[in-house]
Structure 1
Amino acid sequence: MAGGAPGTRPALVGIAGAYLAVALLALLVAAVHLTQGTSPVGASELWQWATGAEGMDETAAVLIASRVPRLLAGLLVGVALGFSGTLLQSIARNPLASPDTLAVNAGAYLTVVLVAVLGVAAPFYGQVGLTFVGGLGAAALVLALARGGAAGPSRLILAGAAISMALNSVVTLLLILNEQESMGLFAWGAGSITQSGNRTVALAVPVVLFGMLASALLSRRMDLLALGDDAASVLGVSVRSTRVTAVLVSVLLAAVAVAVAGPIGFVGLAAPLLARLLARR
């Protein structure tokens, strides 16, 4: 018999249409972003630059120097947080788990502030390493308080909220007591890509690609873990090593996002939910 099961083709068409709509929306938002700023760039100028028209040197200089890097940084951070949130939700089996609700972002931000207060100038990968350690420590503390999620989803989220508030209080205290050393970090703590340049994006891309590849390699085992630890073990999955690896990858992705743009919330929570809605899973 030719063709798939009844209803399969309409479902696939619907999913493809949803992805196309999201892609078009992303292009529209990107175009609007590129036209915003102190130097005026209109829609017609943006189109001429995109199509390679001559005499657009000034427009190209404005876009390439700041706006395109910020756009790429925003996309990169969104992808990193989306993958990180997906892994954390799979590990915790909780749709409310994310880098911000499990205090990963708060721990990573605290390390950035501590380094600034101590007057240490770390290169980008040094910052990623420090934010990774801070985020991992915070996540470990949350999981320990919530018994790895075994105590129930409510306790996990409550533990994450409590640790986040405690760490954010420490950050606020450090910023107040060390205004000179931490200048600019208070605003950056709300999430900002204004300082993201070509170099930052270029350095962050390999880390995010590594995290995406690792997530893809873990995806089958994470799907089996969703059946339960016992069922996954019977199917040949090493539950403990899979969980540890997934935590490390998710924290790494969140850490690089914090290093690029600060502790941005909600994206890591909403992106996996939206992806599941689009894929109808």
Structure 2
Amino acid sequence: MQPSKTILLGSQSGWLNILLSKHTLKWCVVLLFFTVAVATFALSTGQLKTTFAELSQVLFGEGEKFLTTVVLEWRLPRLTAGLVFGAALGVSGALFQSLIRNPLGSPDVIGFNTGAYTGALVVIILFGGSDLQIACGAIIGGIICAGVVYVLAFKQGIQGFRLIIIGIGVSAMLSAFNTWMMISSSLETSMAAALWGAGSLNGLSWHQVVPSLSFIGIALLGAAMLARKMNILEMGDDSANMLGIHSEKTRQLAMVFGVILTAAVTATAGPIAFIALVAPQLAKKLTREGGVAIIPAALMGAMLLTLSDFIAANLFAPNQLPVGIVTISIGGFYLIYLLIQQSGN
């Protein structure tokens, strides 16, 4: 009897039911190793150089007071944001690409993160809200934008290309509204909003990061629960309905969880482009598997954003770039490659 080539996370009839091949699991371990390596360098690199021995002492509660403050209060919140936000964007992209059945089906391409940006700007500029209120505003803005695009794109079901085109149009209008809000506000507020709009993890504290982590945790759990249904849905609505899966309800839930993941990141770090587009596709190229690659996409997203932030923080040190500039530079080249590949088909 041959050993099984797949591993089940959860149970057949349980709420968690994710099937991984051993090949995929190997790549997940590789991605996890590289992510941990990048995270270690990020914690130990900066204007205050830290050896691995000193870093270990800090993490085990035996380091010097000043060094402990630098690592745990300054660097660790930023690193945690990079890891968790990257995973959230990777999973969000995987959900939307499966939902739309198009490699361009990413929340930043469709424009849902622009809706989240609008919601956050309204809270910042008009109400001067707290971090939690900004997070809620971004999520509400993202969900409203997704709802508008969904309604406009719905025509006897959802067609991927139609959703993308309408999403781009709605995003363009919201971008114009965002610009109007910024030029109509005070100089100090508009400059802060513009800097935040570039997408940055610079200077994040635990107080800023924790509200978004709560929303992301809930949405990641919801995405994991939907993974099996989304995989079945890729075989077609008829097959899904025969297996007792409500196709449209599953799509709506996937869209809600995907928007929450994107909006929670946008609320804290601003709109970070292209991670949601690139991470799921690179994960699929490595694992060579179809379906919704939740875990590989999360690990790839975490690694890409953490690596991008490491580059942004150290490339022109002591000056630090917003991580959004690095992700746009990398993602722009990948998008050009993707469009050329699509036109060749």
Deviation at 1:17, TM superposition (A): 3.9
In structure 2, the residue matched to 1:30 is 39
- The residue aligned with 1:172 is 179
1:212 aligned onto 2:220: yes
- Of the structure 1 ranges 85-94 and 156-165, higher mean CA displacement relative to structure 2 is found in 156-165
The residue type paired with residue 206 of structure 1 is S
Determine helix, strand or coil for the equivalent of 1:3: coil
Structure 2 residue aligned with 1:223: 231
AA aligned to 2:143 is L
Paired residues for 1:188-207 under 5 Å: 188-207=196-215
Question: What is the number of residues matched between the two proteins?
Answer: 274
Corresponding letter in the other structure for 1:115: V
State how 1:26-65 maps to structure 2 within 5 Å: 26-38=35-47, 40-44=48-52, 46-49=54-57, 52=60, 54=62, 56-65=64-73
The alignment status of 1:163 with 2:170, answered yes or no, reads yes
Describe the shift of the 1:2–1:250 C-alpha distance in structure 2 as closer, same or farther (beyond 3 A).
closer
Shift of 1:160: 2.4
Counterparts of 1:228 and 1:105 in 2: how far apart (Å)?
Answer: 28
1:1-16 correspondence to structure 2 within 5 Å: 1-4=1-4, 14-16=23-25
Counterpart secondary structure, 1:181: helix
Deviation at 1:21, TM superposition (A): 2.5
1:159 aligned partner, one-letter code: I
1:243 Cα offset (Å): 1.6
Would you say 1:95 and 2:103 are equivalent positions? yes
- Gapped regions of structure 2 (runs ≥ 5): 6-19, 290-345
Alignment of 1:237-252 (within 5 A): 237-252=245-260
CA apart distance, 1:50: 5.4
1:197 deviation in Å?
1.2
CA contact (8 A) 1:113 1:182 kept: no
Alignment root-mean-square deviation, CA: 2.6
Show the counterpart of 1:126.
Answer: 133
Equivalent position SS for 2:191: coil
| Shift, 1:155, TM fit | 3.5
Q: Relative to 1, partners in 2 of residues 1:90 and 1:151: Cα closer, same or farther, differing over 3 Å?
A: closer
Unpaired runs of at least 5, structure 1: 6-10
What is the CA-CA distance between 1:152 and the residue it aligns to?
A: 4.8
Residue 90 of structure 2: aligned partner = 82
Tell me by how many angstroms 1:18 deviates: 2.5
CA gap of 1:172–1:130, structure 2 versus 1, over 3 A, is same
- Report percent identity of matched pairs: 33
CA contact (8 A) 1:88 1:250 kept: yes
